[in-house]
A and B are shown apart, each in its own frame.
Chain A
Amino acid sequence: MAEIMLQVSNMWVHYGQVPAVRNLSLEVHRNEIVCVVGPNGAGKSTMLLAVAGALTPTKGEVRLNGVSVVGKAPEYIAKLGISLIPEGRHIFKGLTVEENLKVGAAANADRSSVENNLRTAYSVFPVLAERRHGAAGMLSGGEQQQLAIARALMSGARLIMIDEPSLGLAPKITEKVFEVLSELRRSSGLTLLIIEQNLKRALKYSDRIYILRNSEIVFSGRSAELQASDDLHSAYFGLGQAPSNVGAGQ
């Protein structure tokens, strides 16, 4: 198995007194696609925000390539090679497409690679090249998702975390976005941690999945082995007991 890139151990995140993530452990290996699935309010977005430093975990450890990043500022974590595309994408709508991409390069210490990355971004996403001087707020949802991905790539990040890339997109466009992500994994050796609502789609594109429900991981396993598992569906929908084989496939 490839080396561990991101390791989250026993992480707790609270909003005031209320725990939003409970004792969560998860790992992502280099060049893997890992999906986290689970119903709304399970704590998926909170988990990603805590890993990226936008929220501070109350307990636990987060290591990126072996370096602890708990309690570090988001801009510091970004410079270590993580890029989070949060829920809703958060495109800078008042900036042009190209300006959005340039802000994406803020974490990139190597300023000379910025022009290069810009060219790469435009060749992967030709629609962005066409609209480069247009306001980002005028892009369609699918184009904004492409911009968000391209912007995350501008930093030279090796691990990209995406919170619900399918949000607000037509199913056909969503499939395209996942195709692009799979292709980027193959061609540029990226590692991806993706939150997805749709279990079927998560299984189709990921190497491994975690199911998060009521702030806890209730299931994890290799996607290929899990296509038709009943346990999986009961874990996702919360029917009956949580399955006993938590941690299977690791």
Chain B
Amino acid sequence: MSAISELSHLKVSKARTPEEKAARRKENSRDNKAGYLFLLPWLVGLVVITIGPMIASLYLSFTDYSLIQAPQWSGVDNYVRMLEDDRLHNSLRVTFVYVFVSVPLQLVVALAIALLLNEGMKGLSFYRSIFYLPSMLGGSVAIALLWRQLFGTDGLVNQVLRLLGVDATIGWIADPGYALWTIILLHVWTFGSPMVIFLAGLRQIPSMYYEAASVDGASRWSRFVKITLPLLSPIIFFNLVLQVIGAFQSFTQAFVVSNGTGGPSDSTMFYTLYLYLRGFGQFQMGYAAAMAWLLVVIVGALTAVNFLLSKYWVFYDD
């Protein structure tokens, strides 16, 4: 993960004279102690709660583990089997489509709405709450039921289409050709979380920048491009990285909408859903662990790429 090295752009390079270097070093050592003190709760959590299970899962990925019986060492069997598992390959394809379509779409919608809701206007706090509602309901069973009703063959969507004169008989959720798109829509629709983060980010942009710009007579668009986007870029970056990581692990929505099957015919079989079905449904936790580590490699690589590219567009004040 050297890609995150941009984080460690130390200001050391700026120190030129020996005195400066010495001062810098002294400060660095002070930072060292303080850094670890501030990090202490997280480090304890890592050691006690996080790392052990992670290492355990890595070990389990090299075993045959049913959860009920003790794991049996099986070498790289699980990883070899993954190469020949058509359903796994299909789930990767489904997940990639989902990530690359729904993440950008959701972020654009969230940013647009956040911009709209950021301006002084009556009733804004009410709108904000309304727009966040779907995210509160998010992966609940009730939403899954509703979604199945809306997009059913006789659902509201088809009824509206029929009113518009379209002979709509498609089962949006039932047809393997469309089911994934209803889940993508569901994901985009729950744009509340990135929206809130954008809103908070927008609020952090000092208003003096805008005041200066409006004195200069800059247009709305150029203010957006020249001020909002660069100053919001760390937050956009955060949303992008976390949404990608999150979307690859997307589970709940597909699980509840397809009733845990990933159907129809695996068309909404997300990677993590398949992993879960293997691990808990078929008692192949070793295989599930191997799948999880493949996911870490994939998501890790994409995150690294994200961090590498961030050098070119993310603007930090520090």
- A and B bind: no
